[in-house]
Amino acid sequence: MKNKAIIAPSLLACDFLHLEDEVKSAVAAGADIFHADVMDGVYVPNISFGFDIIKSIVSVSDIPVDAHLMIKKPYAYIDTLKKAGVWSVTVHSDFDTPDVVRSTLEQIKAAGLKAGLSLRPCFDASELDPYADICDMFLIMTVEPGFGGQKFMADMLPKIKAARLIADAADHPISVQVDGGIGEATIGLVAEAGADNFVVGTAFFKTDDRLENTAKLRRIAEENMN
C-alpha cells in the first residue's frame, strides 16, 4: 500500500493581513501540516516572521507546524519553538560545523520534537547520510532558500532519489520533503523521484478553490509515489 502524500502549505505565501483566516482555510482544505519558514536575514538574505507568529498559528490550528529554520543559530531557539507548540524543527546542513549540526539535531530530539535536515541546492545528498540515524525528515530544496515564488529546479530530481535511498536504508522511517516551485506541474515529478512530503506555497494559497486544489495535488502525488 502506498503512503499518503503529505501536503504542507508554506505560510510564507499566505495573506498575513488575514493570517487566522488563511490558516483556518488551509485546514479546511485538507492540509496535513504547516511549513513555517523562519529567516534571520543572515543565513539567507530575507527576514520572514518570528516565534510569536508561530505561536499564534498553533493556537488556531489543529494540525502540526514544522518550523524550517533558515537562520544562523537555530540551537538558540529550540526551547522557544517547543513552547510555541511546533511539532518539528528543520535546520540546514551548512549552518555550522558537522558537530554543531549534530548537537542541534540531538537538542531537537531531546525536546521531544521531530528533527529535519535540509539541503540547499548546492549540496549533495551524501551530506544527509551522517545524520540519518537521528533525522525524521530530509528536506530537499528545489529552489534557493530565502524567497517564495521561485522556479522549480528540475536538476534536483536525482538528489531527491538519492535522499530517498538514504532514508530507506535507515532503521527508522524518514520522510523526504521537497520545497520550492511545487505545484500541479511538478509535484508528480518529485513524488516519482521519492518524495512523500510536499511544501506548496503559491500553488496552494493563490488558488480560488483550495479544497479542490489540495485534493488534486494529493492525487497527482500519490499516483506517482512508488
Active site residue ranges:
37, 179
Which residues make Cβ contacts (< 8 Å) with residue 57, sequence separation at least 6?
11, 19, 23, 34, 36, 65
- CA–centroid distance for 77 within its chain: 18
Which residues make Cβ contacts (< 8 Å) with residue 118, sequence separation at least 6?
68, 90, 91, 92, 93, 138, 139, 140, 141, 145, 179
- Whole-angstrom Cα distance, residue 187 to residue 54? 26
Relative to beta strand 34-39, strand 6-9 is unpaired
